[in-house]
Chains A and B, each alone.
Chain A
Amino acid sequence: MPYSDTFKDHLANPRNAGELSDANTVAEETNPVCGDRLRLSLRLSNDRIEAVRFLAYGCPPTLACGSAIAEMIEGMRIDDATKLTRNQIVDAVGGLSSRKQHAASLAIETLQSALAKHASTHR
């Protein structure tokens, strides 16, 4: 399955790339098998994700999914963000073959990890 134009656009023009200096939660997850990494730094305020930045290392789907999730969740209510699914990430990059969908899973896991960290420190 060839990469879509949307996918390539995420690679060429990554959304919200970098790190937030005033993040109040940061998570980095690694695919233990292939070593791909995704780091999300979030600034949460008033039940919303006010700002988000991502960094990614690995195969192109990991980079594109990092960009896609960073774009999708900015401004999103935290409750809604916790319900994001792998398929929504796959759709956001214009589709991925089943062999590449692990990249979307990594994006979801990293987001959940960041939100869980924040929840555990702000009970």
Chain B
Amino acid sequence: MLRCVGAFGSCQRPVCGDGELQIVMRIYLDHSATTPIDERVLEAMLPFLRDKFGNASSVHQFGQDARAAIDLARRKVASLINARPNEIVFTSGGTEANNLALRGICEAVQKYGRHLIVSAIEHPSVKGVVDYLEKQGWSITRLPVYEHGIIRLADVSAALRADTVLISVMMANNEIGTIQPVGDIGALVRTERDRGRKQLWFHTDAVQAAGRLPIDVEAIGCDLMTLSAHKIYAPKGTGALFIRRGVRLMPQQIGGHQERERRAGTESVANIVAFGAAAELAGAEMAQRNQHTSELRDRFESKVQSRIDDIVFNGERDLRLAHVSNISFRFIEGEGLLIHLDMQGVAVSTGSACSSGTLEPSPVIKALGRDEELARGAIRFSFGKDNTEADVDYAVEALVRAVASLREISPLARDMESVPSA
């Protein structure tokens, strides 16, 4: 009988039907998808789900208490990225913030031009908006990321046109964790402005980076930055858009005065309070969290490399978020591996999806120039502050078993075995 000592120690899941109850660990290695709520964050938000339930737009004391709590949270979120509090607009999450940023700015500035520059590996919430704008007649340049998963500044410069109004490049990628040169792009935009080009804006989706990398919007020089609460141990349902003072965009949600007319709708007070608390903790604990997760990740990668053949690490290993490891396993397909791991209590994710007989291999892995098999066999492992070395060791054992099991039935692996070596 195995003992459950994982990050979620309370979970005990019977998995064996042979008479003896077998308990497996349940290990969460999908922190790029979402994170568990930090107890301290939960404590901070609970009063606003109980007696402090006021609407922040109300003038009575209940409302004023809510307003004060939102204002405090706004200062905390602003502080995480060195912004001014009034440059933070709370939204329902990263997707809404990306929609507000891209659609909002494009609708506001289209009289100056209709050309956008984005990276080829943007999150679907940016990619989807860009695809939509393209159908509306906008011209799009999608920058390559090459084998290491990072754009080149020279490509940004080369892509600039007279009618370019927006550059949107994510700060760190959600699948492979690679960190993009957003500071260099900001400097390029500043140089262009100094040369008299005033109608060029820069947005970065920092959903994966915020709380994991030190961020200073002044140093980066971006005009818009997207943030999300649930990636930093707060609940799902809240995000924010940094809108630099003086930048005008068209609200995408109208019918209320909230968020200085930039995002109508009653604020989710408890979630915003939680976001503020989580941002404050992320800022204070960033260095130790990164140290911890990078040690776990390196332990994991070292063990995987020594135990499993025919793997490829995806993304530049020296310039990526400290908690992400993305690996392609030859001869097998990611979703099968994901389910095998899940059956052993280990939660990970894959960027590929199969439906109706149509496979969509991860566009991010494809953008690295990987072949179809590697794109299909990619798995993301993302570690969190509460994971332990025991979690890593258990996950490695589970992974070794899962890969062996799938390769045992793979015709690709069998055919490779039968090829005589040179």
Interface residues of A (CB under 8 A from B): 3, 8, 11-12, 14, 17-19, 28, 31, 33-37, 39, 54-60, 63, 66-67, 99-100, 102
> Known interface pairs A8-B339, A11-B339, A35-B376. Does A58 touch B357 (Cβ–Cβ under 8 Å)?
no
Whether the pair B408, A17 counts as a contact (CB closer than 8 A) is yes
Distance between Cα atoms of A17 and B354 in the complex (Å)? 23
User: Which of chain B's residues have a CB closer than 8 A to the CB of A100?
Assistant: 354-355
Task: Give the interface segment out of B78-86, B212-220, B228-236, B330-338.
Answer: B330-338
Q: Is B414's CB under 8 angstroms from A19's CB? A: yes
B358 close to A (CB within 8 Å):
yes
- Let me know if B162 is at the binding interface, CB within 8 A: no
| In contact, B356 and A63 (Cβ under 8 angstroms) | no
Other A-B pairs beyond A3-B339, A17-B408, A100-B354, 12, CB < 8 Å: A12-B405, A14-B409, A18-B409, A19-B414, A33-B357, A36-B354, A36-B359, A37-B411, A56-B410, A60-B335, A60-B336, A66-B409
- Is B356 in contact with A99, judged by CB distance below 8 angstroms? yes
Q: Which residue of A lies closest to B340 (CB)?
A: A11
Is the CB–CB distance between A59 and B408 below 8 Å? no
Given contacts A33-B359, A34-B359, A57 and B339 within 8 Å (CB-CB): no
With A12-B340, A59-B335 in contact, is A28–B358 under 8 Å at CB?
Answer: no
**Using Cβ atoms and an 8 Å threshold, which residues of chain B touch A31?**
357
Known A39-B411, A57-B331, A57-B332; judge A99-B355 contact (CB<8 A).
yes
B187 neighbours in A (Cβ, 8 Å): none
CB contacts (< 8 Å) of A55 on chain B: these are 409-411, 414
- Contact residue among B358, B405, B412 (Cβ-Cβ distance under 8 Å from A34): B358
CB under 8 Å from chain A, chain B span 57-74: none
**Contact between chains at B411 and A56 (CB < 8 Å):** yes
Question: Are B333 and A59 closer than 8 Å at their CB atoms?
Answer: yes
In the complex, chain B residues whose CB is within 8 Å of the CB of A36 = 333, 354, 359
Q: Which residue of B lies closest to A56 (CB)?
A: B409
Q: Which residues of B contact A59 (CB under 8 A)?
A: 333, 335-336, 354, 359
Name the contact of B336 in the complex, choosing from A11, A18, A33, A39 (C-beta under 8 A): A11
* A12 partner residues in chain B, CB cutoff 8 A: 340, 343, 405
Q: Which residues of B contact A14 (CB under 8 A)?
A: 405, 408-409
- A–B complex contacts, Cβ < 8 Å, 25 sampled: A8-B343, A11-B339, A11-B343, A12-B340, A12-B343, A14-B408, A14-B409, A18-B409, A33-B359, A35-B372, A36-B354, A36-B359, A37-B411, A37-B412, A39-B411, A55-B411, A55-B414, A56-B409, A57-B410, A58-B354, A59-B335, A59-B354, A60-B336, A63-B336, A66-B409
Closest chain A residue to B334, Cβ basis: A59
| C-alpha gap A35/B102 in the complex (Å) | 36
**Contact between A102 and B356 (Cβ–Cβ < 8 Å)?**
yes
Which A residues lie within 8 Å of B343 (CB)?
8, 11-12
Q: Report if A57-B333 is in contact (Cβ < 8 Å); known contacts: A11-B339, A12-B340, A12-B343.
A: yes
Contact of A33 among B331, B358, B405 (CB under 8 A): B358
- Chain B residues with Cβ under 8 A from A37's Cβ? 411-412
Which residues of the partner chain A approach B408 to less than 8 Å between Cβ atoms? 14, 17-18
In Å, the complex CA distance between A69 and B300 comes to 37
Q: What 8 A-B pairs have minimum CB-CB distances, sorted nearest first? A: A34-B359, A102-B357, A55-B411, A59-B354, A17-B409, A99-B355, A39-B411, A99-B356
Complex interface residues of chain B between 379 and 406 (CB less than 8 A to chain A): 405-406
Q: How far is the CB of B418 from chain A (nearest CB, A)?
A: 10
**Cα–Cα distance between A31 and B372 once the two chains are bound (Å):** 14
Complex: how many Å from CA A59 to CA B333?
6
- The reply to whether A34 and B409 contact each other, CB–CB distance below 8 Å, is no
Complex contact B359–A57 (CB within 8 A): no
Alpha-carbon gap, A19 to B357, bound state (A): 25
Q: Could you tell me if B354 and A57 are in contact, using CB atoms closer than 8 angstroms?
A: no
The A-contacting residues of B in range 306-336, CB under 8 angstroms, are 331-333, 335-336
Q: How far, in Å, is B90 (CB) from chain A's closest CB?
A: 34
| B residues in contact with A18, CB < 8 Å | 408-409
Give the nearest-CB partner of A19 in chain B. B414
In the assembly, what is the distance between CA of A115 and CA of B404, in Å? Answer: 30
- With beta carbons under 8 angstroms apart, the residue of A3, A35, A39, A67 that contacts B359 is A35
Task: Report the minimum CB–CB distance from B8 to chain A (whole Å).
Answer: 20
Contact with A along B336-370 (1 / 0, CB 8 A): 10011001000000000011111100000000000
Name the residue among A8, A12, A66, A67 with the largest chain B CB count within 10 angstroms: A12
Q: Which residues of A contact B372 (CB under 8 A)?
A: 35
Closest A residue by C-beta to B360? A34
